[in-house]
Structure 1
């Protein structure tokens, strides 16, 4: 089933009333996808549309949750990354296998979280922007301090990911982004796939709605490999 946050700005799901059972065998434990949206996570209509798209994933047998970095807040990237890490840990303690999926600026958050916690079974990035801060105009960086911090932090963390780690990353990109430089959406060593759409926002919506089956297939294969 799909689970949504009810804890306000903390970024943590309310788990009260849920009894933690012993972890299921790795090959049978449910997969939990934590989705991290980009700079638009401050826009309720956009967040709502993404939530609704994620609801359809329950038919594919995965559970979904959204984590909002709140890029335009006063929090630091490290503080929000700590919150995301806490969320991952809570789901793992419930016996779930956790995968992360980040769109646009959210790609940096999920890559950073993966670099610090390799128990995450797989990572998916959609139209990701996690490199080259000089490509972003200064007003955007000033208004979204955690995003600016992520662009200086993530490249260093990527150096810690070896070939096997990178093979568990799926990067989905549009044929022509228009917002993020096309080269920036590529990650060396990852599974890079180009979708037959044009545009940044369109690519994100298309991936959530029409590439769900492909993403879930990738997650299951990565989870199986992790269990071996």
Structure 2
């Protein structure tokens, strides 16, 4: 069964109810953002804080759902990508437009999912880490096998994304990350933006709370065609 947590909604709401809540886009299918957290998805307090931040997005007319990779589990990265793809498909079958947003290690998961399924309308990555496993200390890679696998798989998948695909990716980064090399948070061809904050975790929290309007505007522009 696909794990999902929906902010402010019952799981997979009926389409009519979802359409009634599609604020500001009359006549368009509702927008669903699936958020994939990073390695901290095993920490209930951190997950709770991120979920509460996403709950506020309802006021912007956006439905949000959290998908936890469970990076420290025995599952493979491929298996978790399959589960994420299943979740996207189920929402699409409900008539919703689906965008993905990933923080830190979660950036790799959403980029890989996007490379596999171009029906995803847009992607947002926050303080992302999706390449160069040599930068990560060995114990972290050993404790988080899906993350280690993603660092090898994602760069190859990104080669499949053309200019138009990359233009639908927004990468948010801190002025100085401190955990992820600053240059690693830049994605060629994407819309790369630097936030006026310092720190890895702070950047993620800041983006979810104070950059929500910017993110939603980007998503709506990406789906305006």
> Could you state the TM-score of these two structures normalised by the residue count of structure 1?
0.90
CA contact (8 A) 2:5 2:11 kept: no
**TM-superposition CA deviations, 1:17-56 (whole Å, max 9, x none):** 95467x9899600000000000000000000000000000
Unaligned runs of 5+ in 1: 1-6
Query: CA 1:153/1:17 → structure 2, altered by over 3 Å: closer, same or farther?
Result: closer
Query: CA 1:27/1:43 → structure 2, altered by over 3 Å: closer, same or farther?
Result: same
- Please state how far the C-alpha of 1:201 moved relative to its aligned partner: 0.1
| Structure 2: distance between partners of 1:86 and 1:127 | 25
CA contact (8 A) 1:121 1:223 kept: yes
1:103 maps onto 2:95 in alignment: no
1:202 maps onto 2:194 in alignment: no
CA contact (8 A) 1:104 1:127 kept: yes
Query: CA 1:134/1:48 → structure 2, altered by over 3 Å: closer, same or farther?
Result: same
**TM-superposition CA deviations, 1:42-79 (whole Å, max 9, x none):** 00000000000000000000000000000000000000
| Structure 2: distance between partners of 1:164 and 1:46 | 34
- Secondary structure of 1:69 counterpart: coil
1:11 maps onto 2:7 in alignment: no
- Please state how far the C-alpha of 1:16 moved relative to its aligned partner: 7.4
Query: CA 1:198/1:95 → structure 2, altered by over 3 Å: closer, same or farther?
Result: same
Question: What count of residue pairs does the alignment treat as equivalent?
Answer: 216
| Structure 2: distance between partners of 1:146 and 1:36 | 13
- Please state how far the C-alpha of 1:94 moved relative to its aligned partner: 0.3
Unaligned runs of 5+ in 2: 20-24
| Structure 2: distance between partners of 1:213 and 1:221 | 12
Aligned to 1:177: 177
Aligned to 1:191: 191
> Could you state the TM-score of these two structures normalised by the residue count of structure 2?
0.91
- Please state how far the C-alpha of 1:11 moved relative to its aligned partner: 2.1
1:212 maps onto 2:212 in alignment: yes
CA contact (8 A) 1:26 1:97 kept: no
- Please state how far the C-alpha of 1:224 moved relative to its aligned partner: 1.1
Give the RMSD, CA atoms, in angstroms: 2.0
**TM-superposition CA deviations, 1:102-161 (whole Å, max 9, x none):** 000000000000000000000000000001000000000000000000000000000000
Aligned to 2:142: 142
Aligned to 2:69: 69
